[in-house]
Structure 1
């Protein structure tokens, strides 16, 4: 009742609620985010294109979308007259901007509403925007420009074509900066439309057009606010004759006042317009109405005469000191019924003895319910939630009964607006109450600490257990869980806990949420994939990469809400709700059993490799999935690099061993993967080359033998001829010193044994014709120097061979020939009678002919060891 409404709220009529674009006569009905717009034929598509905020203007339902304030009849006439005179002036030197500023509760929003309504009746209102804190888009600048543009198109249809043209000419405009959007969607379309005859006539006969911006201090995007002011003033400086005015209201904030205190802006301090007479009129009317309604007051007056007496009423008006919000709250405090059975006559002396200002009133009012159960939770929810909830929504969010919420709020109606129905939100009478509750030095025992965001995050997380998803609290939790986490993580570490109630820390909250899913057999794979992938994958992508049914993925993700944002469709990306979740899962000391091992990069590299190989073995190069194949190769390579960087080299071989031991049904190509990755690791990766090169080569050959024996039954010939650029990459061979390879006798024997296994597998798997073709084409695989005999290319008599410079041009078979050649040199000169004999190969790769080819050469010599050295045990795979 801050300044009682002078206009009824809009009537909402539900017309074909699931339809959009309905034509009725000359009007068309559009639905945006569940809100109905009535528009002309021209405006409808624009609404759907720009997606404006539906409840930001002066026409919004103020019961649902605060501030719910309007000028009390007969008040504010002086300041309204001043603003109207300024806006009506057509003088060339008149300012284009008027800033109306004042303290909390002095009626700025009510005056802004009155001006908007007055100029709407005069057909000169272009647009209005009422900012309000903690209401999503209405507390941000994100949709400010598009909302003004839609209203501009509705108020001045001549501007609509210019707005549409701007969007059509600049497809990225709706994602560009605020300044660019305002210029292209608001200022320039208005400027173009203002040249039309109808607007010129209106301007000349009636005066300029007006845009009303209320509560600019309520906007959270301070940098954008500054940019808006500076750009607006720059536009008017360059266009001094344009018939447009801006009325801006706000509190005095540095980021606003520092830019608006300018020669181009008219300043109006509302304190200079706060009339004692206005407050007197307001209080007189309120008390007269209450006397008619309240039988207790009526009975008191019959026995004791008029109430309140003039002396007390005058003292009350002096006490209020021009603040309409204080006047309204103080009146409600006096007349509202309370559980302590006190009467308005009892409470009037308390009101007169209060210290001037809202803080004392807030404290006095809150004390009425402080003793009740759940008081702190209910008040904290009102103070910290990002959008107002109805009573049943507050109760569901806090996990308590609705009557317990009502019990707390019923005594606080002087400062909190409780709607008459369950589906309307509970709102604060003024945003200053939130400031009071969140400032400890002001609120004392009613203080809502910012750490309470963690508890609200926890309460949000409890609403994702399969219950209805269309309740106010559940929808709130889906939208705002991450925001509560963000507010909590901004606190200094000392304020983050441990807190006195569960969950005591952020880590405890994440552990609690993740524990709901850990028993699922695919939990670890799915959460690891979400955490480690380069870019977020959709549900269908996670299913494909891991080889898991889509329904299985959906089942796990449903239990991971709200730490994981799960989209509506299977093709939209699944994302982590907040960066702190990622930090938790990748820090072992915090996440414990939920720690995502860096070694899981190996599995992801393998999964992408397998997808690519499946494609290569079953599709042609003209397949429509060829682009996806290229993406899979990139992903596989990236995850391999992350894997190699993250863990020690001995662990790399251990992890590869574990991968090759997986069940064939879930992992059909681990040996092919191991062979390919190790070969490239040795011969291409210049930054993270293996330190134990011989071990890598032994493991590479073992993997090739096992791959031929176990994994190539359906297409062995195709795989042996597979160019590496289709498997992994087309990068250049690493030109550097690979050796020395210190090879002991038992290692040389093991290598020779593995070569025999490979040869046997090739003979068993391929046709004789294919085998003969391999022999005849060996020169294609190994380009030897002139004079070298190709059939001896794998012998130790050849110390230097020529190869293609790009590994992508090599095939699996040419890679095998190179390995076989190295093995033949390892065997040469071994003395079987000398157990300490070591063969040392210096293996060099050198570019030749402007990189038209490379040479791979060895400098072998025999060197007996002084003592039998420690050397790695070589396990020879038994597969024949």
Structure 2
């Protein structure tokens, strides 16, 4: 039963518009207006898979060039086709830029064609749901329902009987057992005798790429424990899993605990990539030459010369990211042959100096800094149109500024397609001051500036029942997220003018657009609507933390006070929506 204080808050809450055939229901003496129960949803609507996390995703996708990485791929295929049922997991590790994602994509494509792919997930930092673990298992479960149709009714039964399994309180272990292990076990056991389970199951695989790209480090470590915990004893995994990642501490420690027989570990650092990068260079430079044949008609072939190609290979080492960035840098220049000679003469032989050289040619105007900084900290990859609207900049200015760094940032031909980094190591470089030096992008400061842009956008929106459009929805959900992350690191260094702007904008939002913000928040998924609440309790109470670090500032005290109002305001919204959801579920069951 809800507390009387919660009821009191709800009775005094700002009115909320809910579409549908309205009816008044009495719940714990609280009268709640809600719509008609929604019709039963399909499996995809239940699971809400992340479509751009699969091997068929659009945009820039790293793949192995034909005839390259044959040794690595052979080792993986031998493991997949091996008879040792204990080694159900392969961990492919390696430094940034060594081509782990390209190998994972190549294996995924190959085994999808063979009908042996159960599912896949490609994590990517700063790419919304692709950078979080919460959608991993539901996405894999949805793919299983397609690759193994007999699993679909089993999943539907689980979701019907245990709807909380997709809620925020559900553990990864429970989800993995009920949505992955049990449905596959049940399907296999009805087809063949138990003693032949593994001989069939070994033909099916999952591929999960970029464990280090997942922002939820503790949860990822727990997921690895879940996988490894399924190995000992009688109940072996009824499939094989290929995992890829850098050797980061929270990942390395978990795999270190695994008994050697249960895990097949491949280190890309142990494979010589020189010949593969040589093939890559020859193919890409040939394309650059053909595309610029008029400009380069006086340049003798082969280009680059054997001596220059050897020098490039020495610079690249085993880093495909370095090789690709170098090619983009040369190919994006109006005079590629001169750009190549400049790079050869520079002595650059690693990614950081190469990034420095590329960034040194940019203008670093206020607009450029604003655009680049925003791209680095946005919750998801966004389009030119999105940036233009959120930052109040003309489309052509966004494009013009980004063209300066097109060798490291993929600029789409369509203004509504997402802008992508060619490699996430660029974000690492720019957000670590010891590496980027004068090109450092201060994440906390950028978070605060982005919070201000989000709030400005919302305050300036026309007054309606709901905010409309991708930019407004993003701003509605994430302005508080960016504010908290800004304060988390900045402490006493926050400029008073920034705090004053935040206070004014939040007051205006609640005063003039409070109903609209509340209504729009109720339309988001349960996980998203909990974002403000989860931020409230991360690392202790942020209101208390801000008092401790910024207690000398009167303006900051005003901000802290108003943030508590926002948290209370949002708790009412979540409480109202939870009652609505419970009533709808009850009506559906009846």
**2:433 aligned partner:** 440
Mapped partners of 2:399, 2:421: distance in 1: 15
* In the alignment, structure 1 residue 253 sits paired with structure 2 residue 248: yes
**2:491 aligned partner:** 493
**2:138 aligned partner:** 146
User: Quick check: 1:389–1:472 contact (8 Å CA) kept in 2?
Assistant: no
Pick from 225, 228, 246: which aligns with 2:220?
225
**2:177 aligned partner:** 183
The verdict on how the C-alpha distance between 1:294 and 1:440 changes in structure 2, with shifts beyond 3 A counting, is same
1:199 CA drift (Å)? 9.9
The verdict on how the C-alpha distance between 1:478 and 1:189 changes in structure 2, with shifts beyond 3 A counting, is same
**1:291 aligned partner:** 289
* Residues 139-178 of structure 1 mapped to structure 2, 5 A cutoff: 139-175=131-167, 176-178=170-172
User: Quick check: 2:481–2:531 contact (8 Å CA) kept in 1?
Assistant: no
User: Quick check: 1:378–1:405 contact (8 Å CA) kept in 2?
Assistant: yes
Q: How many residues align?
A: 498
* In the alignment, structure 1 residue 89 sits paired with structure 2 residue 82: yes
> What SS is found at the alignment partner of 2:208?
strand
Give a deviation string over 1:77-130, Cα, whole Å, max 9, x none.
1111110110111234x4111100001111111111111111112222111011
Give a deviation string over 1:662-698, Cα, whole Å, max 9, x none.
xxxxxxxxxxxxxxxxxxxxxxxxxxxxxxxxxxxxx
* Residues 807-822 of structure 1 mapped to structure 2, 5 A cutoff: none
Mapped partners of 2:559, 2:282: distance in 1: 65
Q: CA RMSD in A?
A: 3.2
Q: Quick one: higher RCO (CA 8 Å, sep 6+), 1 or 2?
A: 2
1:337 CA drift (Å)? 2.6
* Residues 466-865 of structure 1 mapped to structure 2, 5 A cutoff: 466-467=461-462, 470-498=468-496, 503-505=497-499, 507-515=500-508, 523=511, 556-557=513-514, 566-567=521-522, 579=536, 589-590=554-555
Mapped partners of 2:198, 2:110: distance in 1: 16
**2:127 aligned partner:** 135
* In the alignment, structure 1 residue 279 sits paired with structure 2 residue 273: no
TM-score scaled by structure 2? 0.77
The verdict on how the C-alpha distance between 1:336 and 1:296 changes in structure 2, with shifts beyond 3 A counting, is farther
User: Quick check: 1:557–1:566 contact (8 Å CA) kept in 2?
Assistant: no
The verdict on how the C-alpha distance between 1:292 and 1:195 changes in structure 2, with shifts beyond 3 A counting, is same
Mapped partners of 2:427, 2:374: distance in 1: 11
User: Quick check: 1:376–1:446 contact (8 Å CA) kept in 2?
Assistant: no
Pick from 56, 61, 72: which aligns with 2:65?
72
TM-score scaled by structure 1? 0.53
> What SS is found at the alignment partner of 1:236?
coil
* In the alignment, structure 1 residue 109 sits paired with structure 2 residue 66: no
Pick from 332, 342, 345: which aligns with 2:328?
332
Give a deviation string over 1:222-272, Cα, whole Å, max 9, x none.
221121111211112134555411100000011111111322211100122
User: Quick check: 1:565–1:574 contact (8 Å CA) kept in 2?
Assistant: no
User: Quick check: 1:89–1:208 contact (8 Å CA) kept in 2?
Assistant: no
Mapped partners of 2:97, 2:330: distance in 1: 18
> What SS is found at the alignment partner of 2:42?
helix
The verdict on how the C-alpha distance between 1:265 and 1:593 changes in structure 2, with shifts beyond 3 A counting, is closer
1:373 CA drift (Å)? 4.8
1:297 CA drift (Å)? 4.3
**1:315 aligned partner:** 311
**1:350 aligned partner:** 342
User: Quick check: 1:276–1:317 contact (8 Å CA) kept in 2?
Assistant: yes
**1:212 aligned partner:** 207
User: Quick check: 1:90–1:208 contact (8 Å CA) kept in 2?
Assistant: no
Q: Mean alpha-carbon deviation: is it higher for 197-206 or for 245-254? A: 197-206
The verdict on how the C-alpha distance between 1:85 and 1:576 changes in structure 2, with shifts beyond 3 A counting, is closer
Mapped partners of 1:574, 1:230: distance in 2: 26
The verdict on how the C-alpha distance between 1:516 and 1:220 changes in structure 2, with shifts beyond 3 A counting, is closer
> What SS is found at the alignment partner of 1:212?
strand
The verdict on how the C-alpha distance between 1:568 and 1:324 changes in structure 2, with shifts beyond 3 A counting, is closer
Mapped partners of 2:45, 2:265: distance in 1: 38
* In the alignment, structure 1 residue 456 sits paired with structure 2 residue 450: yes
Pick from 38, 47, 51: which aligns with 2:48?
51
> What SS is found at the alignment partner of 1:238?
coil
Q: Mean alpha-carbon deviation: is it higher for 486-495 or for 100-109? A: 486-495
* In the alignment, structure 1 residue 429 sits paired with structure 2 residue 422: yes
User: Quick check: 2:455–2:505 contact (8 Å CA) kept in 1?
Assistant: no
1:492 CA drift (Å)? 4.5
> What SS is found at the alignment partner of 2:322?
helix
Mapped partners of 1:102, 1:575: distance in 2: 33
1:401 CA drift (Å)? 1.6
The verdict on how the C-alpha distance between 1:594 and 1:363 changes in structure 2, with shifts beyond 3 A counting, is closer
> What SS is found at the alignment partner of 1:157?
coil
User: Quick check: 2:91–2:244 contact (8 Å CA) kept in 1?
Assistant: yes
Mapped partners of 1:185, 1:280: distance in 2: 44
The verdict on how the C-alpha distance between 1:204 and 1:305 changes in structure 2, with shifts beyond 3 A counting, is closer
User: Quick check: 1:96–1:246 contact (8 Å CA) kept in 2?
Assistant: yes
Unaligned segments of structure 2, at least 5 residues: 1-39, 566-590
* In the alignment, structure 1 residue 369 sits paired with structure 2 residue 362: yes
Structure of greater Rg: 1
